Amino acid sequence: MVENLHLDQNPYHKQGLKCVQGMIPLRNVRKDEAGGLMVVPYSNNNETQKSIISRYPSTKMHPSDWL
């Protein structure tokens, strides 16, 4: 399980799939040298979002979309 996960869609404010994001590196990068975009399959479904809400109730107070 990923412990440090950044979400660009707060499930308290936007449930379901509301945004799509991508990344275009502007220089050559290798997997072992730089971070990047990681898409977590099914992270937009209701079950997963309800799990995030129950595990991190303080995120309700976060005013913006990202967590």
Q: What is the pLDDT of residues 9-23, one digit of tens each?
A: 777 777 776 677 777
pLDDT of residue 34: 65
- Spell out the residues 6+ positions from residue 11 whose beta carbon is closer than 8 angstroms to its own: 49, 50, 52, 53, 59
Mean pLDDT throughout 19-46?
76
At residue 24 the predicted structure's pLDDT band, cuts being 50, 70 and 90, is: confident
Fill in the DSSP letter of residue 58.
G
